[in-house]
Amino acid sequence: MYYLIPHRFRWMLLLVASYSFYASLSGYFVLLLLISTVFSYFTGIAIEKQETKKQKKRVMLAGICVLLFFLGWFKYFNFVNDSIRALSGYMGWHYALPYQELILPLAISFYTFQAVSYLVDISRGKQKAERHFGYFSIYFAFFPQLVAGPIERAKKLLPQFKVEQTLQVENISYGMKRIAWGFFKKTLIADRLAPIVASVYDSPDPTGSQIVLATILFSIQLYADFSALSDIAIGCARMLGIRLTENFKQPHFAVSIADFWSRWHITLSTWLRDYIFVPLAKGKKKRSEIYLVIIITFLISGIWHGAAWSFVLWGLIHGIYRVFGDHTKHTRAKMAAFTRLDRLPALHTWMKIAVTFLLVCFSRVFFRSGSVADAFHHAKLFLTPSAWNPAGLIQALELFSLLDLVIFSFFFIIVQLFHYIERKNTSTWSWLSQRPAFTRYAVYILIVLSVLVFGASGRGFVYGGF
């Protein structure tokens, strides 16, 4: 339909598709999405009409406060309320405000962040206020990336809606491949690991080895789940001629925590950098002040991920990682030179990858645990030396049935082969397109049939809850 109708009507189709998609998943909150859209639209115009930078900033801050109020009310009210109640109980104070039954509107975190970036960019003079309400509404609710990103900037997305896209076989082909690859990772990796990870983290008395194995598997599950969602979003948009931002670049091959955050949920990382870190760090010269801003930025990242103290602790851990990594950078380089490890660059790189991955895994104990008490209990088990006993880890593999272990291992190896090709080439799909037709179609058929025959389904996307 998109390519059959005239370009001037396509925005209507995209808008109907986006709102229909959102209504099918979260019908109660379509009105909130519309109200947020209308408010952001008129606030952007109001900012642009202001004559001085001070006036622009004042209107921008007022607009952001309203948007954050919506986000805070639905996502954080009970978190703050329960925290105050717990503190009051500990201090012996009377606190009578009860728990409120609030449902978290789908995608509110993602479209709020897009709205905030839009208003800030107008205030900074980097973006003109969009006058076409239809195009702006699509930017706010574009269905491929509405649920969980990528978090796009108006400067990149809005112009693409206005350009007349022509039907190109290359876009259709690439989009279908990315969608299929997303389903491959989701159904054959993420959803096969999810019940195994849950069986350990929901258990009242898991062993240390089980926690270690489940946490490593959860890291694989989370990456497969979220990157799959980004693949599907990018593929859907590409079939319409729209190019979304790549959100992942093999983060588990990062050589440091800084490198990890340049590869993981890239659009969130760059958003936090541009709209939290840079403004707070402006004018700061002391390293200690910069480090404090880094900690604050990661705490905000933690709070954004979930209204629970376990997420706050997860963000704090990553902030500490980042500060410690920067502070010890020269010392670690000297240690590598002293031990002559720097003369073995391949070994040195893989050691850094392994250490970074294990640090990320440890932080995800707090991300996955249901409460702070559970998180500290699981973290203690994770750090117990006996938990890393090879015999215990092998025994923990009993969480898999033999058939499930074989199936998961086979498809996990395929994913790693794709990653290997991608590290050697700019794109696995470009590399594959240069192979003989028999090879190409054998791979495509393998992907599709594997999903249909062996794919596990029925679980939502993890980041749909954020």
pLDDT of residue 429: 87
Do 180 and 160 reside in the same domain of the chain? no
Res. 138: pLDDT tops 70: yes
* Overall domain count for the chain: 2
pLDDT of residue 362: 95
Do 147 and 196 reside in the same domain of the chain? no
Whether the bond into 150 is cis, omega within 30 of 0: yes
Domain ends where: 167, 182, 199? 167
pLDDT of residue 1: 92
At 200, the pLDDT band (50, 70, 90 cuts) reads: very high
Do 149 and 228 reside in the same domain of the chain? no
Res. 432: pLDDT tops 70: yes
Do 424 and 363 reside in the same domain of the chain? yes
Do 342 and 455 reside in the same domain of the chain? yes
Looking up tokens 């995608």 gives 107
Average pLDDT estimate for 443-465: 84
Looking up tokens 């099918």 gives 24
Res. 466: pLDDT tops 70: no
Burial class for 245, CB neighbours closer than 10 Å (0-12, 13-18, 19+): middle
pLDDT of residue 45: 94
Res. 34: pLDDT tops 80: yes
Looking up tokens 């396509």 gives 10
Do 422 and 375 reside in the same domain of the chain? yes
At 92, the pLDDT band (50, 70, 90 cuts) reads: confident
Do 129 and 261 reside in the same domain of the chain? no
pLDDT tens-digit profile of 281-331? 888 888 889 999 999 999 999 988 887 888 899 999 999 999 999 988 888
pLDDT of residue 73: 83
pLDDT of residue 84: 78
Identified catalytic residue from 265, 305, 318, 378: 305
* Dihedral of the alpha carbons of 233, 33, 458, 75, in degrees to the nearest 10: 110
Q: Is 91 among the domain residues?
A: no
The residue segments making up the domain with residue 107 are 7-82+96-167
Do 268 and 360 reside in the same domain of the chain? yes
The yes-or-no answer on residue 305 being catalytic is yes
Average pLDDT estimate for 33-52: 92
Res. 99: pLDDT tops 70: no
- What are the two backbone dihedrals, phi and then psi, of residue 51, each rounded to the nearest 5 degrees? -85, -35
Do 32 and 141 reside in the same domain of the chain? yes
Roughly how many angstroms between the first and final C-alpha of the chain, as a whole number?
Answer: 32
